[in-house]
Amino acid sequence: MNPTVQTLLQHRSIRKFTEQPVDSETIETILKCACNGSTMGNMQLFSIIVTTDKKMMEKTAALHFNQPIATNAPLMLTFCADLHRFNRYCQFRNASTDSYDNLQAYQWATTDALIAAQNACVAAESLGLGLCWLGTIVYQVDKFIEILSLPKNVMPVACIALGYPDENPELTDKLPVEALVHHNVYQDYSEFDINKYYKEKENHPNTINILKENELDNLAQVFTQRRYVKKDNEFFSQVLKKTLVDQHFLDE
């Protein structure tokens, strides 16, 4: 196992960090790695907002539902799908500036931004940092746009809290690899398959605890009735859709 594979297989989310700040040389290396990934037509359709200022973190804390890591991490990186910079380039080069006001460009830029984000994560972990993605960045996107001063044609798609680990949690329980992999074409999942693939996860001590806390029968119900409830998902989908319209990525 080479050191990179080892880093990738050792990944787990870290939610407690020491006081140690991340020095600027380390940040520079992480950003360089982030900016060297694959990108659509080499257009580099993303931007990275680096936050080390606690006041800035406090401004977005409520939007992250006050998760402690939203303010306790010494470093936060927000990755944005960004067609604005490219449109600006077009503007100053006598080229059309509305070719990328559409969903296709959003999909490209989201891809570029997430490749960059994951490169940053891998680089950071190889340098001894721990991290946790804040999925809340895609909930109230409109409000993040306001606080981060994002212009039209820019959308936040990933937010990662980083720092030196002050905990050493076990690896997370995952589905077996074969549950996620198909050969040549997608093979649908029968009830037998689902039972087989979820068995280990359902018998995991974490799961048993979660079910007890939630007084529910199984994990599926924990997700649909507590964690990610239809009503909320639909509400935030409307926010996302409206924001895509506002940011010039989608027609009404």
Task: Tell me the window of 17-25, 65-73, 110-118, 161-169 that interacts with a copy of itself (CB under 8 A).
Answer: 110-118
Sign, Cα dihedral of 68, 72, 73, 77: positive
- 198 belongs to the binding site for a copy of itself (CB under 8 A): yes
Q: How many CB atoms lie within 10 A of CB 207?
A: 17
Instruction: Work out how close the CB of 218 gets to a copy of itself at its nearest, in angstroms, rounded to a whole number.
Output: 4
Q: Which two tokens stand for residue 114?
A: 């997430």
Q: Quick count: other Cβ atoms within 10 Å of Cβ 189?
A: 12
Site for a copy of itself in 174-193 (CB under 8 A): 174-175, 177, 179-186, 188-189, 191
State how far the alpha carbon of 66 is from the alpha carbons of 58, 71, 103, 119, 164, in Å.
9, 8, 31, 27, 21
Residue 205 interacts with a copy of itself (CB under 8 A): yes or no? no
Q: Does residue 193 contact residue 180 with C-beta atoms inside 8 Å?
A: no
- 116 in Cβ contact with 79 (< 8 Å): yes
For residue 67, state whether it binds a copy of itself (rule: CB under 8 A). no
Does 150 participate in binding a copy of itself (rule CB under 8 A)? yes
Does 37 engage in binding with a copy of itself (CB under 8 A)?
Answer: yes
Q: For residue 210, state whether it binds a copy of itself (rule: CB under 8 A).
A: no
Nearer to a copy of itself, 151 or 165 (CB): 151
As a whole number of angstroms, the distance between CA 137 and CA 38 comes to 23
Instruction: Give residues 8-27 in contact with a copy of itself (rule: CB under 8 A).
Output: 8-9, 11, 13
**How many CA atoms, within 13 angstroms, populate the side-chain half-sphere of residue 174?**
13
Residue 36 interacting with a copy of itself (CB under 8 A): yes
Q: Does 96 interact with a copy of itself (rule: CB under 8 A)?
A: yes
Query: Closest distance between a copy of itself and the C-beta of residue 130, in Å?
Result: 11
24-34 and 103-126 helices, crossing angle to 10°: 140
CA 108 to chain centre: 16
Q: Are strands 154-163 and 46-51 parallel, antiparallel or unpaired?
A: unpaired
Options 126, 166, 196, 211; binder of a copy of itself; rule CB under 8 A: 126
Q: Which stretch binds a copy of itself (CB under 8 A): 17-25, 65-73, 161-169, 226-234?
A: 226-234
Tell me which stretch binds a copy of itself (CB under 8 A): 15-23, 64-72, 81-89, 161-169.
81-89
Q: Which listed residue (93, 168, 215, 252) binds a copy of itself by CB under 8 A?
A: 93
Residue 227 one-letter amino acid? R
**In whole angstroms, how close is the CB of 1 to a copy of itself at the nearest point?**
8
The neighbour count for residue 245, using CB atoms within 10 Å, is 12
Does residue 214 touch a copy of itself according to CB under 8 A? no
